[in-house]
A and B are shown apart, each in its own frame.
Chain A
């Protein structure tokens, strides 16, 4: 009996398979000591960037709205998660569990930020929406730059604009305004990154292939027609936007808990654009593309170290070439024919 699967289902399973195989390969290489220390250190950030790209692809590819402030949600998740992890060190001693809890907290805070920003932003369309998300990304960065959080026996203490905290006995600062969070206990692991990637994929695929996902894609394809069949525009735009923000928050948490120090300035406009580059390069609405693009472009600067000063120049040239090649009809037609022939051979 031949199992009949739709094209989307096959692509989804292929995506899951690629992620699982990649994890097994890199995990065994890493435990066999075959990976260079730089690449080993890159494994967690790669997973984080992959999830960031996946989450932005939900907004850009599935909802069809250009967001230029995605790093803002990543930032909210990163700092909320790192603060939660620092505050919960004694309460939850098991690192894996603490990481999971911190990620959930990061995702929740990012989702709240998504709702607050979504209310004004989703009333706009196209270029205007893009510019306003950019502004909100910068606002989040400035807010975190001016935030001070300390902990002592009584619990968490907050202060805004300047450090006015007087902490009790044994108290310490967690978030130090522009200095960010120093001395993070690194609890993020490659396995955790893999699990988060899988969760992000499951959430996105299951959302897209459901009643809600259809409504979101209908808004992308034709808003007026979507309204005419009774779809609530605001509700479904918000659903996509907030889900995207929550996943970005979890990715931010994974990222920050894999670093020694994080600074608010890390998640600026450039990071938003970097994530957008992953999405555009991998193809809008194509999750496997985002994964490959994010992983490849995160590793690329490390691989290009031998070019020393010309590193970023080579990086830019590679980017231009890949864009030109993937958008060239002759070349994509060639690959399409190649794959079709292979399929023909099988039968």
Chain B
């Protein structure tokens, strides 16, 4: 399998015990979570979640099934309001913000189970991502005033430009729900990018993809980071992808962070290996 060749990124500790790439170290991190936690009833789903992500870092969030990874995404995007702790996006607390406000502030995401606007065209899906960057009101739309035509033309051009990242311009007119699975996943990423985020959250972007598609996706994720100069946090079970492109990795188990570090550190960390594979035979006494 072709993997993009990368120089290992040097990681440096920052105050909240996280690590971020050296090139981002003189800048404030884009995202900082401090003692983030949420309880559902009596169950603590995520606890004491501390993490910082550099401005142009590709970070990975991994862990066994049910570890709370998607819950962390839902906390960051305020689908759930955290019970404890706070989230600083670019130094600004997102406390009391709604999901839509968090998006405006700069966090965009994709979903594990694809959530597109199925009955709308591919282009309209991207234009919905551009929603807050198209500037005309309801009445300009109703009366088809010049502002409408100008902004719609701009949105159309921008949408095609964004679709070209994944060579999807020719699908612009198709219904989103009728696209093949892989294209739907890519469209979700394009839609999220259209909102002009500072931080992009990808929830299992390679799920259901074959190895060659995964390799292509890896190249594209790096390309997106380099073109847009944004930070990317991804949840993924495909270790080749995580180890191949993530610069910092955070391992979650039972809602707790059990390890943080560079891919090399994580791959050799005994606690992580234990979480994934279980204890050695003699320890469990079997």
**Chain A residues with a Cβ under 8 A of chain B:** 6, 203, 206-207, 210-215, 217-218, 220-222, 224-233, 239
Contact = CB atoms under 8 A, between A and B. Distances in A.
Contacts of A211: 127, 131, 134, 136, 141, 151-152
Most buried by A among B77, B103, B128, B194: B128
A206 B142 contact: yes
Nearest to B194: A229
Interface residues of B, number: 39
Given A211-B131, A211-B136, A214-B128, A225 B117 contact: yes
A201 B215 CA distance: 49
A218 B120 contact: yes
Contacts of B144: 206
Given A217-B119, A226-B128, A233 B141 contact: no
A214 B131 contact: yes
B117 A217 contact: yes
A54 B115 CA distance: 29
5 contacts: A207-B141, A214-B127, A227-B79, A229-B194, A239-B138
Contacts of A213: 141
A233 B192 CA distance: 18
Given A211-B141, A217-B117, A227 B111 contact: no
B136 A229 contact: no
Interface string B141-152: 111100010011
A233 B103 CA distance: 13
Contacts of A215: 128, 131
A212 B141 contact: yes
Given A211-B134, A212-B141, A213-B141, A227 B120 contact: no
Nearest to B125: A218
Nearest to A239: B138
B109 interface: yes
Contacts of A225: 111, 115-117
A207 B99 contact: no
Nearest to B103: A230
Nearest to B77: A228
B138 A207 contact: yes
B173 interface: yes
A228 B99 contact: yes
B195 A230 contact: yes
B148 to A, nearest CB: 7
